[in-house]
Chains A and B, each alone.
Chain A
Amino acid sequence: MMAEEVKLFRSWSSPFPLRVIWALELKGIPYEVILVDLSNKSSLLLQYNPIHMKVPVLVHNGKSIAESLVILEYVEETWKQTPSLLPEDPYERAMERFWAKFGDDKVLPSLWNVFIKQGKDQEEAMVPAQENLTNLEELLRGKNFFSGERIGFLDLAFGWLANMVSVFEEVMGATVLDNQKLPSLSAWMKNFMDAPIIKESWPPRDKLITKCQALRQAHIEKEAPK
């Protein structure tokens, strides 16, 4: 059998490459990490992801794939060993894809919008963010994980919530996710955070806090009345 070469371009902090790392680790696929400094993009990244110049990029036997959720589906189809990431039933698969898209298109931007604001602007931004999180609470009802009994595609897609919400809340000094109102989501976040493989993967929290503080500061200064 041909020796497989799997490389993954990531940055130290971006949550999107983590999705791919989790998938590769869960399936026991050996891979090499290429660490990218996103403030100083290398020509190598340009060569492998010329269209977006972003991480993650998976390079498998010299062929590159970008877009984290696309990569997850590629990993699932290429390495068929367990655990399988997606359900077999087409309807269940469509549901996971739908909610993963909701996560990236709605949940993430709405939480980011709360994070970069303050005062009344932040209060207003809380409303859609909390509505979106309530949708996730309802999705989880009666389940341990978004994908059912064990971690799957949808958990990997939402995984960033497990550590980034608390980082955001600490930096901005405000709560967006009320544990009392969203008990299932809070429980999931804790379970996912501490799950085998997942728990070893998180970027250093103190570095994340520092980085997020700088980002929030920059956004607030930009919006400040002149």
Chain B
Amino acid sequence: MGEELKLHGAWISPFVYRVIWALKLKGVPYEYIEEDLSNKSPLLLKYNPVHKKVPALVHAGKPICESMIIVEYIEETWPQYPLLPIDPYERAMARFWVKFAEEKGDAVWALFRTSGEEQEKAMKGTLEMLKTIEEHSPDAKKFFGGDKIGIVDIAFGAIGYWLGVVEELLGVALFEAHAFPRLHAWLKNFTEAPKIKENLPGRDELVVFVRSWRAERLLASQN
């Protein structure tokens, strides 16, 4: 399909990377447009008027927003390297865990934005989320998708990698190997998979960025 495909994103965004991973795994070419989140382009605001956020995938001029909805769209449009199983029950299980990641992942994103009591609450939420996945998710062979990366890996992968960033930022250990052995092994498999490894933002760069972003926010809130 020779139609124009563009991705509006930001290098710091875990949500954008979910879309990048899906496109790279399927070998779908696209044009990437980096957005300055402090000065969003009129195009982005036109493509995502409701949330005004990245990612926005634009296919033949038509925009799709919300990272996991975009991933499902990519799955349905480009069938190579399937990200969802064929069996309806297995698909429902995958979608359940995607929803879980979207809902409970909020605790991890809150760690970046908050401090004090709110941040404590977010740490608790993060640990609860990790515990549930460790205990209840189906046995990951190499990945949640089986031998190959699937939609659940993509959903959790963003959370897992960015969790490492916030741990370094805050100097806390939340995602400890002895507490979450299955998840630790899974994250290692995921981040070392070739198509993922080549498409990860630098952790140090992310830490530097977030540190200064948090400082700016603190200053702004005090004025």
Contact = CB atoms under 8 A, between A and B. Distances in A.
Interface string B55-77: 00001001011100110110011
Q: Report the contact-size class of chain A (Cβ under 8 Å from the partner).
A: 20 to 34
B136 A91 contact: no
Given A70-B99, A98-B66, A102-B50, A90 B132 contact: no
A101 interface: yes
Interface stretch (B88-96, B160-168, B190-198): B88-96
Contacts, number: 57
B92 A65 contact: yes
B88 A77 contact: yes
Interface string A52-90: 000000001001011101110110011000000000001
A70 B65 contact: no
Contact of B91 (A74, A94, A98): A74
B64 A98 contact: yes
B72 A97 contact: yes
B92 A71 contact: yes
A90 B76 contact: yes
A91 B59 contact: yes
B26 to A, nearest CB: 14
Contact of B70 (A60, A77, A94): A94
A94 B96 contact: no
Chief secondary structure at chain A's binding surface: helix
B50 A135 contact: yes
B180 interface: no
A51 B91 contact: no
A93 B184 CA distance: 35
A98 B89 CA distance: 22
A109 interface: no
Contacts of B50: 102, 135
A148 interface: no
Given A51-B136, A70-B96, A135-B50, A94 B64 contact: yes
Nearest to A73: B95
A93 B64 CA distance: 10
Contacts of B93: 65
Given A65-B92, A66-B96, A97-B72, A91 B132 contact: no
Interface in A89-145: 90-91, 93-95, 97-98, 101-102, 135
Nearest to A63: B89
A183 interface: no
A17 to B, nearest CB: 16
Contacts of B109: none
B88 A78 contact: yes
A94 B89 contact: no
A188 to B, nearest CB: 19
Contacts of A71: 92
A28 interface: no
5 contacts: A73-B91, A74-B89, A94-B70, A94-B73, A101-B66
